[in-house]
Amino acid sequence: MLTDTKLQKYLGIITTFSFSLVGFALLAIHQVLANNAPRVENYLKVDTIAGLLHSLIAIVLTFATPIIIFFIIYAGFLYVTARGNEQQLQQANRALLYAIVGGLLILGAYVLITIVSNLITAIIE
């Protein structure tokens, strides 16, 4: 339960915060009305959401490809070091399966975004 002093303390904090927000809002309105509003520059060179998704998945694909190759090589190393041990062979099978499934998921996302982007572009034009 809140005591009177805690309640007064919280109300004082909320009131101070509210007045500071009003000051920031007035400053923002003044900048917009004076045409001095700060501008955000587009460093991505992408103008659509589809283009943004395409760029992001291309970046993910660039980073994921060496990782997937590493895990496929690691699975091969597990196969070599298993030397007939059933438990280690199952571990190597799982590692290879997960590496391939992960690669297919990332590649599938890239293909899906490319197809949807091309369809939307074709519909708009």
Phi, psi angle pair for 14, to nearest 5°? -65, -40
Residue 93's pLDDT is 95
Low-confidence ranges of the chain (pLDDT < 70): 1-2, 31-32, 36-38
Residue 38's pLDDT is 66
What pLDDT digit, counting tens, does each position of 47-80 carry?
877 788 888 888 889 999 999 999 999 999 999 9
Residue 65's pLDDT is 93
By the 8 A CB rule, do 92 and 75 touch?
Answer: yes
Residue 114's pLDDT is 87
Residue 70's pLDDT is 96
Closest CA to 110 of 48, 64, 73, 42: 64
The continuous run of DSSP H or E covering 1 comes out as none
